[in-house]
Structure 1
Amino acid sequence: MIAPTIDLDALEAFEKLEPTAPAGKPMMVDTGLIHEDPEQPRKVFDDTKQRELCTSVAESGIRIPISVRPHPQLPGQYMLNFGARRHRAAVAVGLAHVPALIEDLLSDFDQVIENLHRAELSPMEMALFISGKQKGGMKPAEIARRLGLSRSAISKYFALVDAPSEIEATYASGRTTSPDTLYDLRQVLDRWPEKTRAWLASDVDVTRRSVEHLKRHLTEAEKDQMSGAAGRDKASHRTDHIRHPLLKVRIGERPGVLVLNRRSDLDNHVLVRWDDGGEVQPVEVQAIQVVALEDGRSGPAKPRGRRRELRR
């Protein structure tokens, strides 16, 4: 009978595995065995805040455990759920182990919610995450429900996706990073592009209040313009019914009235009766400046003389 053999290689690999911990209890995990999730919604890390965290970790270590899950492709290693900044700081200051909670596979929604509650996810990162979910076929209502946000909040993040260059420049420069303000600004830009660009080019603070003030100003100006146009339309409508048209003109500095019931004997000329003397003269058409079209009978009626029959 052949004695059974022992696979020492497997035993050695087993001894190298990290010890497990009771559910909900943190354990010390080798920092070299932890990998960041490539699908992590958070892409931007503030350099100043990261340096401050490194200083804190160097002095006091990691006090709040990070969250990891078994790596789907690397046995015995882990992938981050939460705590990328703390893990990076631990690696930067040379910590060999960090406290970690081994948790089940969490969704990318869980990662977004965690960063959102910690105020560590930028508006643009949130917008790109929401856009990616919608492109994947998920309805905005479902995205809002999963994130615990309102439908209107989701719509405001969408304003950052494929935004006009002016919105991107305003966000990138730090003039405002508020989704609410950027959403309102995009609405104004879409409606009054030229005037909004001129406003952004000035040295103005971009806040929700200033954007609202701009919108109110442009709306009132548009209403005034429409009222003026309506008034001109009414005036134009009235001119269609002028029974006795009187076309006032000016030639240089000399005012007169165009004679409408007679033609000039000269080509490209019209007859003008001068206001200063009543004389009628032919004037070249190109020299005439039209001043107004009035009703010749709209003024006070002029008294007419009576013909008296002379009696012998």
Structure 2
Amino acid sequence: MPGKPKKSMLDVGYLRTATTTGLASSIIASKAHEEEQRLIHEKQPQQIDIDLLFDNPFQPRVAMEEESLQQLSDTIASHGFQGVLVARAHPQRPGTYQLTAGHRRREAAKRAGLKTLPVIVHNWTDQDMATLAATENIQREDLSPLEEGKLFQIMIDQMNLTQLEVAAAIKKDRGYVRNRLRLAKAPSDIQAFIEMKTDSMRAVIYLLDIEDQSERAQVIDQLLNKKLTTEDLPGYIEELKRRKREGLQSNQDTDITQSTNTTYAETASVSVNETNLSSKSPSNLRRVGVPSEEEQQDYSKGSSMSQARLRKTKLKTIMRYLADYQRLLDDANVEEDVFEDERELLIQVRNTVQQLADTLN
């Protein structure tokens, strides 16, 4: 009589890691974990076609490292697939399944030429799937900022955690969590940029301030080409906004001027028609549509005021940069003669710019 079939072993190392991390365990632990471990020891897996196994819909990971994936595939090809996977029946696609975890092992097995994999199937809820996905990923150190943001969003949406609780679970501050949540909701071009430059998270908040996608694309291109740095962004974006405001004001001024010229032309035409054309007085023979000398002076005055505002805006921008430069010197804390000379020159420059600005008040 054949003996009882040998129970397959499931690699639960990631569960042990996640459930022995103090506060993280107390927040993330749930009945889903206990149930999964019970199933591992009590339920036999079934062989399921590898093409019928889909990702956990709450899995935050969006990419796999090529080299390590190939290494795992080579190991599986040489030694076979170790352990089993856990899944639920796909709620929208009958006859298929959603893995709770093990997506990387499934991909490696597929590369190794395997057609089926051992799977334990259970009736997991969405809450269970989200919890198990979070458990698998929460202690990983190789998640990208975008993947972390998606994981944090899952923990908030599906596990009803607050940002503070998420931060406590991963032992990071709230700002860390908030910035990655912001990235998870950002437009795709910003997400793609951060995936390419994961050390540029501080740029996200500034890029989100640029609503025009074409303008944002230009800024991202300059960041990637190192023509701009994250530190440059506040001033650069402020300059973009200033130019846009001035462009709008310029268009409005043009419309007003054209409208005013039309009004003057109509008024002058009426004036000529009502004047005794037989009069030889030059004062009664103003050309139609041509403003008077006094009116032309008014235009000139308005134009000068507009130019003055423009110059004043530019001077304010210069003053802001000089103030930033002053802070750099103050933070340097170096008592060298060259720094003292630099400070004196900076004071002279700031005084000169301030004098220029005062003349425009």
TM-score relative to the length of structure 2: 0.42
- Between structure 1 and structure 2, the one with the greater Rg is 1
Q: Which has the higher contact order (CA 8 A, sep 6+)?
A: 2
Higher-helix-fraction structure: 2
Compare the two structures and name the one with the higher strand fraction: 1
